[in-house]
Amino acid sequence: MAKPVSIEVWNPNGKYRVVSTKPMPGTRWINLLIEQDCRVEICTQKKTILSVEDIIALIGDKCDGVIGQLTEDWGETLFAALSRAGGKAFSNMAVGYNNVDVNAANKYGIAVGNTPGVLTETTAELAASLSLAAARRIVEADEFMRAGLYDGWLPNLFVGNLLKGQTVGVIGAGRIGSAYARMMVEGFKMNLIYYDLYQATRLEKFVTAYGQFLKANGEQPVTWKRASSMDEVLREADVISLHPVLDKTTYHLINKERLATMKKEAILVNCSRGPVIDEVALVEHLKQNPMFRVGLDVFEDEPYMKPGLSEMKNAIVVPHIASASKWTREGMATLAALNVLGKIKGYPIWGNPNQVEPFLNENAQPPAASPSIVNSKALGKIKISNVGTVCLTISGYP
């Protein structure tokens, strides 16, 4: 039996009990729940990752909904406990939900929320930052200075790669991949090669228009190319950023064989999902190719790194901070809270979970809807369009 966990309580006499397994940025999410008569309990336990037993203790005998984190194992045990406590909703404070057994949630009739639509630019910015930091060896140079090793300018000191005129490769040209591509093309005048199952028409038009602008001003125009395979991107690009979903087809997408096809001085960036890269193979490749560089925000066995990765000077590693801008994290907290609140209050589901600006406007009340419920179809929920039209079907979305 887990020991009782420490909590902070807001609005102790609220009708509905909502638990957050972690303190989250900002206070708007708390205020929105309080305004709708919720008692909000926030776990303040000094523990990075709560165990299943810890969360069961938090849920207790009566709980209407839980806001959780992607580090937690939300499966049969937790959904059963939440159901016994009368719970109706769980929301990850994350766009991904690989930590959630959605089938188990369906079994107990519990809505599962996530927070898309608010991470696109923030995540793309970090991918661009890692690309630039790796290309110009910024982390290595910073460590060199702090160690007191700099004793004067040298012609060969921390020579890196010029991005201008090189080719950026994007694997997965969805919202984040396309935003990253635009940043690299416009910011550094890079050419683009991308691979996606679907044509990224808007991205292609953007690169074409920017190329025409450069040409009109006497500069070399940028170009784009849609690759016929992922391997074509790996062979041709100088900087490659990974933006696929994680499923059985993308597990270890980047392995020993594919690393070997990349340029010796290529840069590989991953802000998507850790298991997309075979980390053991990556460490070996970094050892054998000192001018090959990587920038990683996610890891195969997070929060751990495979042995040897932390020792690689040609690897930049950061602790899953792609969404860590104030605006984005506060927005994620708000969306997660509203997912839970919407289910408690019987609100319909928002029609487009990637267009969530109305929920984030601090100068207005948010729509009476749950921003994003991933299992709404399975639970047969009402859908509301962005302009307020309600559609009801027995089985789910029309």
Q: DSSP string covering 122-143, please?
A: HHHHHHHHHHHHHHTTHHHHHH
- Residue 303 within any structural domain of the chain: yes
Task: Say if 157 falls within a structural domain.
Answer: yes
| pLDDT category of residue 5 using cuts at 50, 70 and 90 | confident
Phi, psi of 102 (to 5 degrees): -65, -35
73 & 156 share domain: no
Position 356 scores a pLDDT of 94
Classify residue 395: in a domain, yes or no.
no
* 151 residue type, one letter: D
Catalytic residue set = 273, 302, 320
User: In the predicted model, what is the mean pLDDT of residues 278-307?
Assistant: 97
Alpha carbon of residue 340 to chain centroid: 20
Residue 396 lies in a domain: no
Q: Say if residue 143 is in the same domain as residue 87.
A: no
Q: What is the predicted pLDDT for the residue at 60?
A: 97
Q: Please say if the pLDDT value at position 309 is more than 50.
A: yes
Residue 70 lies in a domain: yes
Question: CA angle at residue 41 from 91 to 69, to 5 degrees?
Answer: 30
**The pLDDT value given to residue 388:** 43
Q: Do 108 and 151 sit in the same domain of this protein?
A: no
* Shared domain check, 332 and 305: no
Shared domain check, 153 and 32 = no
Q: Do the beta carbons of residue 136 and residue 161 sit within 8 Å?
A: yes
Flag whether 394 is in a domain: no
Tell me whether residue 266 is in a domain: yes
Domain termination site, one of 313, 340, 368 = 313
In a shared domain, residues 81 and 143: no
Q: What is the pLDDT of residue 84?
A: 98
Q: How many domains does the chain have?
A: 2
Tell how strand 267-270 and strand 293-296 pair up. parallel
Residue-wise pLDDT for 38-81, tens only, equals 999 999 999 999 999 999 999 999 999 999 999 999 999 999 99
Residue ending a domain, among 263, 288, 313, is 313
Does 125 lie in the same domain as 106? no
Structural domain of 278: 120-313
Whether 1 has a pLDDT exceeding 50, the answer reads no
Residues 300, 262 share a domain: yes
Residue 398 pLDDT exceeds 90: no
Give pLDDT tens digits for 107-158: 999 999 999 999 999 999 999 999 999 999 999 999 999 999 999 999 999 9
The pLDDT tens digits for 352-395 are: 999 999 999 999 999 999 999 999 999 986 556 454 443 333 33
C-alpha 87/C-alpha 81 separation (Å) is 9
At residue 381, the pLDDT reads: 63
What does the pLDDT read at residue 382?
57
Quote the pLDDT of residue 273: 94
- Do 31 and 144 fall into the same domain? no
- 100 and 197 fall within a common domain: no
**CATH code for position 337:** 3.40.50.720
Residue 373 included in any domain: yes
Of 268, 283, 313, which one is at a domain's C-terminal end?
313
Amino acid 396: pLDDT: 32
All residues at 6 or more sequence positions from 387 whose CB lies less than 8 Å from its CB, including other chains: none
pLDDT of residue 233: 98
Asked whether the beta carbons of 178 and 354 are under 8 A apart, the reply is: no
> 292 and 160 share a domain?
yes
What are the strands of the beta sheet with 65-68, ordered from one edge? 7-10, 38-43, 16-20, 65-68, 89-92, 111-113
Pair 165, 194 in one domain: yes
Q: Tell me what the pLDDT averaged over the chain comes to.
A: 94
